[in-house]
Chains A and B, each alone.
Chain A
Amino acid sequence: MTAQQNPVTYARAIQAALTTIVTPVPVYATFNRNFATEPKFVTWMLRNIHQPVYTGIYQSVKGIDTPVFQISIFTQVIEDGFTISNQILQSLHGYSGLFGGATYGIQISKADVQWLYNTYDNDEKLGQVILDCTLDIPT
Chain B
Amino acid sequence: MALPTKILPGFSATLYAQPSATPTPLTTANLSVLGSVSPLAISGNLVPVEAIPAFGQDDAVASFMVAGSRQSDKIPVQSAPTSMSITAAWNPSDTVLLLLRADAYNGTIDRTYVIAATDGTNTIYYAFNGRVSQWTIDAAPGAEAKVNFTIHPRGNQYGWSNTV
Contacts and interface: CB of A to CB of B under 8 A. Distances in A.
Answer whether A and B are interacting partners.
yes
Interface of A: 1-2, 52-58, 60-64, 110
Contact of B51 (A55, A60, A62): A55
B52 interface: yes
A61 B46 contact: yes
**Chain B interface mostly helix, strand, loop or mixed?**
mixed
Interface in B35-89: 43, 46, 48-52, 89
B91 A54 contact: no
A1 B91 contact: yes
Looking at A54, A56, A57, A58, the one whose CB has the most chain B CB atoms below 10 A away is A56
A54 B11 CA distance: 7
Interface of B: 10-15, 43, 46, 48-52, 89, 91, 94, 116, 118, 141, 143-144
Contacts of A61: 46, 48-49, 89
A58 B89 contact: no
Nearest to B141: A110
A54 B144 contact: no
Given A55-B50, A57-B14, 5 more contacts: A54-B49, A54-B51, A56-B52, A58-B14, A60-B48
Contact of A54 (B43, B50, B94): B50
B94 to A, nearest CB: 7
Nearest to A53: B11
Contacts of B52: 55-56
A55 B49 contact: yes
B140 to A, nearest CB: 12
Contacts of A58: 14, 43, 46
Given A63-B144, A110-B141, A54 B89 contact: yes
Nearest to A51: B144
30 contacts: A1-B48, A2-B89, A52-B143, A52-B144, A54-B49, A54-B50, A54-B89, A55-B10, A55-B13, A55-B15, A55-B49, A56-B11, A56-B12, A56-B13, A56-B14, A56-B15, A57-B12, A57-B116, A57-B118, A58-B14, A58-B46, A60-B48, A61-B46, A61-B48, A62-B89, A63-B89, A63-B143, A63-B144, A64-B89, A64-B143
Contacts of B49: 54-56, 61
Contacts of A52: 50, 143-144
Q: Which 10 A-B pairs have the closest CB atoms?
A: A56-B14, A63-B144, A64-B144, A54-B50, A55-B11, A61-B48, A55-B51, A63-B89, A55-B52, A57-B14
Contacts of A2: 89
